[in-house]
């Protein structure tokens, strides 16, 4: 049995997923990152010891089965970070004109895939006393024009996270809202605009690490609040 803490991070090639992977590797964790494109995954893995890649799309059942096998070979899972997300079309359409096929993709990536992965990996993460973290958004709780598809999907993920916590009271289950970040996905949401005023994903990592270190009650947590609590303690 492997005694080293192990994490699986979806969407691990860029943005918050990349930043968390590197931070956990620095802590001595074994980190598995997954994403659709091999080259950026390998670039992340080359930056730190302890990071391995598993290329694929989380909406694909075959890929999820490969991830389940990878975790089974490790013997434990201390963190499942469902970070992979789909924004939808850019520029972002109003709900009344949202293409059905695009909306289906958004829900498949942001809701169905995380739930399927949780189902596949619930046993090892429960056995390790681990945590499940589903990356949310303020668009899940606020109504922003153009954000209806993405926000509705994240709201569904939030609710599913809350139900999972009720059904598994001994498990740490979190919806984590990182806030605005300077990422490629956020740039796609604002095509042609300057988003350099948004914080880098690395600035959010301490909030997520605090969540993992302190293990509060399962629920929905905003990075800004976790960082404020940390600064005042």
Structural domains of the chain, with CATH: 6-232 (3.40.50.720)
C-alpha to C-alpha distances, 58 to 52, 76, 77, 110, 225, nearest whole angstrom: 16, 20, 17, 10, 30
pLDDT for 233 beyond 70: no
Can you list the alpha helix ranges (DSSP code H) found in the chain? 15-26, 38-45, 61-74, 100-107, 113-127, 148-167, 184-189, 205-214, 223-232
Tens-place pLDDT, residues 156-188: 999 999 999 999 999 999 999 998 878 777 777
> Contact 20/200 with Cβ under 8 angstroms?
no
Task: Scan for tokens 């009344």, then name that residue.
Answer: 96
How many residues can be counted in the chain? 233
Tens-place pLDDT, residues 30-69: 999 999 999 999 999 999 999 999 999 999 999 999 999 9
Which of the residues are catalytic?
150
- What local confidence, expressed as pLDDT, does residue 232 receive? 66
- What local confidence, expressed as pLDDT, does residue 2 receive? 61
Q: Is 81 helix (H, G, I), strand (E, B) or coil?
A: strand
Average predicted confidence (pLDDT) for the chain: 94
- Report pTM: 0.94
């Amino acid at each position: 049995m492997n005694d080293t803490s192990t994490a699986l991070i979806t969407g691990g090639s860029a943005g918050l997923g990349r930043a968390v992977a590197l931070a956990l590797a620095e802590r001595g964790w074994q980190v598995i990152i997954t994403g659709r494109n091999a080259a950026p995954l390998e670039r992340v893995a080359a930056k730190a010891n302890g990071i391995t890649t598993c290329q694929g799309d989380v909406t694909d059942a075959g890929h999820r089965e490969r991830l389940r096998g990878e975790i089974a070979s490790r013997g434990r899972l201390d963190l499942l970070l469902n970070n992979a997300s789909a924004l939808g079309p850019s520029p972002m359409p109003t709900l009344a004109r949202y293409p059905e096929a695009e909306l289906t993709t958004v829900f498949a990536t942001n809701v169905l895939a995380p739930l399927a992965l949780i189902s596949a990996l619930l046993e090892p993460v429960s056995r390790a006393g681990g945590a499940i973290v589903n990356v949310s958004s303020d668009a899940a709780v606020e109504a922003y024009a153009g954000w209806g598809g993405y926000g509705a999907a994240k709201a569904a993920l939030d609710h599913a996270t809350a139900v999972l916590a009720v059904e598994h009271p001994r498990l740490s289950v979190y919806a984590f809202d990182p806030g605005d970040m300077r990422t490629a996905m956020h740039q796609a949401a604002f095509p042609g605009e300057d988003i350099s005023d948004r914080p880098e994903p690395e600035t959010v990592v301490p909030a997520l690490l605090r969540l993992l270190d302190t293990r509060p009650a399962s629920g929905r947590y905003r990075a800004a609040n976790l960082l404020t609590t940390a600064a005042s303690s």
